[in-house]
Amino acid sequence: MIPFYVLIISFLIFKGLGLLGLSHFDDWHAVLQGSVAVMLFVAASAHWGSKRVDLIRMVPAVFPRPHWIVTATGLLEIAGAIGIIVPVTSRVASIGLALLFVAMFPANILASRNQLKVGGKSVPNLFVRSIVQVFFIIVVLLAG
């Protein structure tokens, strides 16, 4: 849930900066793009930090090399964070991120069903996680 909170808080900060006169954040689209980028950088950082082992545990057993998958998805999140704020690539990045979020959803299902913990905290139940995942997909598509 940390990425969700980061998205909301960064959106409010960027919107506030726009209201204070920072012209780049005058419109909702730039605010949303910046917020998505911040969220993705924070989410990606977990792929190499203390939560890495927990994320590897979330990868369904049918997928080989779960450690590689966690690394790859972290790199894709970083690429998406950069791509979403570059005007030439933002549309393609948003579509790629939406597909990435769909592809990563089985890990969330597994984590919820097995009541796994990430960073010592229980993952949200499947209903809540599904709503958040759909929200993330909508947000990245709007940001593109």
- Number of structural domains in the chain: 1
Confidence of residue 88 (pLDDT cuts 50, 70, 90): very high
Domain limits at 127? 2-143
59-70 confidence digits (pLDDT tens): 999 999 999 999
d(CA 118, CA 131): 19
Residue type, 101: F
**Secondary element (H or E) of residue 37:** helix 28-45
Is 102 in a helix, a strand, or coil? helix
Helix, strand and coil content of the chain, in percent to the nearest 5, comes to 75, 5, 20
Which pLDDT band, with edges at 50, 70 and 90, does 50 fall under? very high
**Strand ranges (DSSP E) for the chain?**
117-118, 121-122
Query: What is the model's pLDDT at position 1?
Result: 84
Q: Could you give the C-alpha distances from 126 to 35, 79, 80, 121, in angstroms and in order?
A: 25, 27, 25, 15
107 within 8 A of 57, measured Cβ to Cβ = no
